[in-house]
Amino acid sequence: MKKYNIAVLGATGAVGREMLKVIEEYQIPVGTLLPLASAKSAGTEIDFMGGKVKVQEATEESFQGMDYVLGAVQNPMSKKFAPAIVRSGAVYIDNSSAFRMDPDVPLVVPEINGEDAFQNKVIIANPNCSTIITLMAVAGIAKLSPIRSMVACTYQAVSGAGVNGTRELEDQMHALANGGEIVHKTFPAQIAANVIPFIGEMKDNLYTSEEMKMQNEGRRILHLPELLVTCTCVRVPVMRSHSISVTLRTEKKISIAEANEAIRAFEGVRLIEDIEGRCYPTPLDTTDQDLVYVGRVRDDLTDDHGLTLWCCGDQVRKGAASNAVQIMKKLIEKAD
């Protein structure tokens, strides 16, 4: 079996470390594994395949000889190194939002539009975490009838803001329990015992950048250029795994039974009909694995062609690291 040289750009961050873990779990045939990060993190040793691998500083020369580069960095760093990655001949699978809306860059969720990955194997974009989880939940239904619109509300874990988000919630919970001072830096307000209905940057239409991703990215992934989405993104005091409530309206009426069967049959999704006596998943149920759980499928009482459902998924894994590795795995399997 051919082995592949793989670099992880941003290997010391939460998503980068998860990528290494998933590469190992998925038994990707690795020849050379090259963890890359900023100069500050260079020299750090991280676990991989039962051993230790030393992190190297990312430079424009780092990507020579690589077959795949998985990106787990912010937009500026992704844009900085993308030209060098392309010149090296490697396929760049990027988790940032830098290239998601570029019409020449495929935006891929393998179970939904995996074939798009073969349209341009230079740069492939990983979608937003909440978008991936939501679209996985509704993609089976979209096979029965095109979706006209969605109304979504996301309940996003603090780990979506990185390690600092998790630490801030932990520190605030400790302070609450011990009568200490509540300090917030990562989030615009206290997150412990609170919710914050604002993620991203305000746009001209008064929606945030995070909220607009559901429509803009959903149109590309579902191949529905007229899809309309209204979304409210909420940060909640949950450590890991995002949850979304979504009401979708389809061109033709889909019954609850038909929707349940479509969800049950869709790869990567688990329909929750009974889990510990519940008909719905929680974030804890979905943490540290790759399935998207869907429950509470019911008729929308405001539209005869509408359905409402609840879904949860691990945003560090399926919402980021695992989706990127799954794209790479699909390309490798096609090449072999």
Which residues participate in catalysis according to the annotation? Answer: 129, 242
| Three-state DSSP string of the chain | CCCEEEEEECCCCHHHHHHHHHHHHCCCCEEEEEEEECCCCCCCEEEECCEEEECEECCCCCCCCCCEEEECCCHHHHHHHHHHHHHHCCEEEECCCCCCCCCCCCECCHHHHHHHHHCCCCEEECCCHHHHHHHHHHHHHHHHCCEEEEEEEEEECHHHHCHHHHHHHHHHHHHHHHCCCCCCCCCCCCCCCCCECCCCCECCCCCEHHHHHHHHHHHHHHCCCCCEEEEEEEECCCCCCEEEEEEEEECCCCCHHHHHHHHHHCCCEEECCCECCECCCCHHHHCCCCCEEEEEEEECCCCCCEEEEEEEECCCHHHHHHHHHHHHHHHHHHHC
